[in-house]
Structure 1
Amino acid sequence: MEIWINPECSKCHAATEMLDAAGAPYTVRRYLEEPPSEAELEGVLARLGLQPWHIARLAEPAAVALGMDSWPTDDESRPRWIDALLRHPALIQRPIITTDDGGAAVARTPEAIRAILPTAPPAE
């Protein structure tokens, strides 16, 4: 399991605390220091079943400066969104958790985190 975090983010702190409390093994990726490649971002979006505009933080200064809140959300505009997220990783919603089995979640709520936690195998 990997969690993309910004260490300054309270939602990221809450998510790692829940993972720790559940005893879930994970690695931390400080995605502002180690931004995702285009392939990694595309892979996470595919795992999430989302488009780049679904994980964009539109209130961030870079998004406001780019006017992203008025960008079209269609297939033709998708490369523009991907490029913005790659050039400005702070625009990527956080935390994002990816699991070893191919799952992923934007883990901003306790419910989203619980849904992604591994479950214990049934007792025999």
Structure 2
Amino acid sequence: MEIWVNPACSKCRTAVAALDEAGVDYTVRRYLDEPPTAEELAAVVSRLGLEPWDVARPKEAREAGLTAIPKDADHRTDWLEGLAAHPRAIQRPIITADDGTTVIARDPETLSRILAG
């Protein structure tokens, strides 16, 4: 299991604490220090069943100029590259289980689903 975190984020700290409490083996990726590539983001959004703009944090995406990019298939790569260049704009925490199940664990229900898997 891997979790992408920003240590300054309370939801990330909550998710890490829940993984610890559950005794789950996981790897932490501080995605601001080690940003995902556009290809890694493409794989994550595919597993989530979302588009890149769906995993963008509104304020940070706006500040990075990403919201000027159209939200359509022709600009999907632009979004992926933009998020890779501005990782602060990516929703967090993102957890990928060993079976490939991926969630954005911003609420207790989503977090419990990944732990139950």
Q: Could you tell me the TM-score, scaled by structure 2's length?
A: 0.92
Q: Deviations over 1:64-112 (max 9, x none)?
A: 35161x5432101212211210110111100000011010000000111
Structure 1 or 2: more helix by fraction? 2
Match 1:94 to one of 84, 92, 95: 92
Question: Percent same amino acid at aligned positions?
Answer: 53
Aligned length: 117
Determine the C-alpha separation between the residues in 2 that align with 1:110 and 1:22: 13
Q: What is the aligned partner in structure 2 of residue 66 from structure 1?
A: 65
Q: What is the aligned partner in structure 1 of residue 47 from structure 2?
A: 47
Shift of 1:15: 0.5
Could you tell me which amino acid in structure 2 is paired with residue 109 of structure 1?
D
Is the contact made by 1:97 and 1:105 (CA closer than 8 Å) also made in structure 2?
Answer: yes
SS in 1 for 2:103: strand
Determine the C-alpha separation between the residues in 2 that align with 1:87 and 1:10: 23
Which aligned runs of 4 or more in structure 1 are off by greater than 6 angstroms? none
Q: Deviations over 1:32-60 (max 9, x none)?
A: 00011122111111111111011001212
SS in 2 for 1:29: strand
Determine the C-alpha separation between the residues in 2 that align with 1:67 and 1:74: 13
SS in 1 for 2:113: helix
Q: Which runs of 5+ in 1 are unaligned?
A: 120-124
Q: What is the aligned partner in structure 2 of residue 107 from structure 1?
A: 105
Shift of 1:117: 1.2
Could you tell me which amino acid in structure 1 is paired with residue 97 of structure 2?
T
Is the contact made by 1:24 and 1:118 (CA closer than 8 Å) also made in structure 2?
Answer: no
Determine the C-alpha separation between the residues in 2 that align with 1:101 and 1:65: 33
Larger C-alpha radius of gyration, 1 or 2?
Answer: 1
Mark the CA change 1:113 to 1:65 in structure 2 (over 3 Å): closer, same or farther.
Answer: closer
Q: What is the aligned partner in structure 2 of residue 8 from structure 1?
A: 8
